[in-house]
Amino acid sequence: MSKTFEELQAENEQLKIQLQEEKEKLSSAIEQLEESKKELTDSISYAERIQGAIMPPISYVKSVLPKSFILYLPKDVVSGDFYFVEQIGDEVVFAAVDCTGHGVPGALMSVVGFNYLHQAVTEKHITKPSEILSFLDAGVNERLRQTDGASGVNDGMDLGLCTLNTKTKVLQYAGAYNPLYVISKGEIIEIKADKFPIGVNTDGTVDEYTNHTIQLQEGDCIYLFSDGYADQFGGDKGKKFKYSKLRQTLLEMNHLTMPEQKIKMIEIFENWKGNQEQIDDVLLMGVRI
């Protein structure tokens, strides 16, 4: 038997009520999502301020390394890359550090790394790069409980670290995967890093790093960096920039001032990246003697 007009009208009204209820539920869910998103965004923005606060201001970097630049391009709001600069007497200790991952996980690792670097240099006055790296390695292993198996965190960091005597122009360097580039008399020299990272030592051993010593001359340039610049995809064929191209680029612009080099390196990076997504944090430090 067909439904009466009154029955159809009643069902229609009931559907309208149900539709309105579902609409209100959806609106409430959207509001909750927007509120959660705002809380998350605010938290990440606050984390960005904290991360920015622990790294030395550029004004301090310029005061101890007058002819220098720091190119710092996080992939996300916060970064797994960070730089460290500290003066102890006539010596300036500086490093470019690349922590496992990027974004919030990388940023958390960066705080751990920065704290141990600060403790080694500022509190314990260790200035020999190889000893600083071993101190950092031991600290990261202990802090992240990397010998505890499943309960530990098997993350680490790669870095290049230098100590420059501003009086004698003697440079010491030690590296965990990340090398040092030196440009002197129109040639670029690569000082290779040791092939083991900071942390990730599940057996509890503390790595011993090679300490390199170089007598620099006025006008020489040195560069520390993470892998973000060289690993960026782009260009006409969508390939990586690569370290060979990075070395050639630095050599070709060696005649420029350090601020000019920074501007040029950003321009080259952006042109190379084009419409490609930035794949990692980018950090490049340059110092002219």
* pLDDT of amino acid 133: 97
Beta bridge partners of 86: 93
Residue 1 has pLDDT above 60, yes or no: no
Band the pLDDT of 224: cuts 50, 70, 90: very high
Contact 156, 200 (CB under 8 A): yes
Band the pLDDT of 256: cuts 50, 70, 90: very high
224 Cβ contact list (under 8 Å, min separation 6): 94, 95, 96, 160, 161, 162, 178, 180, 284, 285
> Using one digit for the tens of pLDDT, what is the confidence trace for 145-172?
645 555 455 578 999 999 999 999 999 9
Residue 211 has pLDDT above 90, yes or no: yes
Residue 33 has pLDDT above 80, yes or no: no
Give the integer Cα–Cα distance in Å for 34 and 50: 24
* Closest to 137 measured CA to CA, from 211, 207, 226: 207
Band the pLDDT of 16: cuts 50, 70, 90: confident
> Using one digit for the tens of pLDDT, what is the confidence trace for 167-186?
999 999 999 999 999 999 99
What separation in angstroms does the CA of 172 have from each of 127, 163, 217, 219, 280? 9, 5, 14, 17, 28
Contact 258, 65 (CB under 8 A): no
